[in-house]
Amino acid sequence: MDRITLRLPPDLVRRFDAAAAGQGGRSRLLRRLMEGAAQASLPMAEPARVKASSGKLALRLAEADLALLEAEAGALGLTRTQWAVALIRRRLHGRPQLGRPEAIAFIAVQRELRRIGVNINQIARALNTAVMEGSVLDLEMAQLGAFQAEIRDHLGGLRQAFEGNLAYWAAEP
């Protein structure tokens, strides 16, 4: 069954609901009005071939559940639809689902890791081409070790973030 959605001003909705109350409700009156319009002497249209690129899922939730959903989604900076889609995609595909703040944080980590990688390449190139005394070489090796530790810390943080994200979207709380 097809669905038609439209946005109306609140005043018009209140007046229509008042008129529909004595005629079986909003849906019944709308259906009757549409059937009457369709019975006009208009030519019959051929059914249109519509290729759907995505589907729509509608949910009805109790007020308390809807309030919890709004709070949970809002805490992540998502709309309730975005939150529900992320939950479904996590369960279907088993991949992390990132909200905007998380995605920005991951991009920052990636940028830092690239920066460190460039520095390591520069140090390696310098070590390969230069003739250095023992103390200078020791200093460069120490710097290389510091970069290695920094990368390890960033990767550990990244791993924890992904594990936390996967745990959040897991079926069991």
Greater model confidence, 122 or 51: 122
Q: How confident is the model at residue 63 (pLDDT cuts 50, 70, 90)?
A: very high
Q: How confident is the model at residue 44 (pLDDT cuts 50, 70, 90)?
A: low
**Same domain (yes/no): 133, 154:** yes
Parent domain of 164 = 100-169
> Is the per-residue pLDDT at 170 higher than 70?
yes
pLDDT, tens digit, 9 for 90 and up, residues 142-160: 888 888 888 888 888 888 8
Does a structural domain hold residue 80?
yes
Cβ-based neighbours of 3, under 8 Å, separated by 6 or more:
56
Q: How far apart are CA 129 and CA 135, in angstroms?
A: 17
| Per-residue pLDDT at 61 | 92
> Is the per-residue pLDDT at 50 higher than 70?
no
Percentage above 70 pLDDT, the chain: 86
**Same domain (yes/no): 104, 165:** yes
**Same domain (yes/no): 81, 106:** no
Does a structural domain hold residue 147?
yes
Mean pLDDT over 38-45 rounds to 63
Contact 73, 80 (CB under 8 A): yes
* Structural tokens at position 143: 């710097």
| Per-residue pLDDT at 134 | 64
**Same domain (yes/no): 104, 157:** yes
Question: What's the structural domain count of the chain?
Answer: 2
Q: How confident is the model at residue 70 (pLDDT cuts 50, 70, 90)?
A: very high
| Per-residue pLDDT at 3 | 76
Percentage above 90 pLDDT, the chain: 7
Q: How confident is the model at residue 68 (pLDDT cuts 50, 70, 90)?
A: very high
Contact 98, 104 (CB under 8 A): no
**Same domain (yes/no): 121, 87:** no
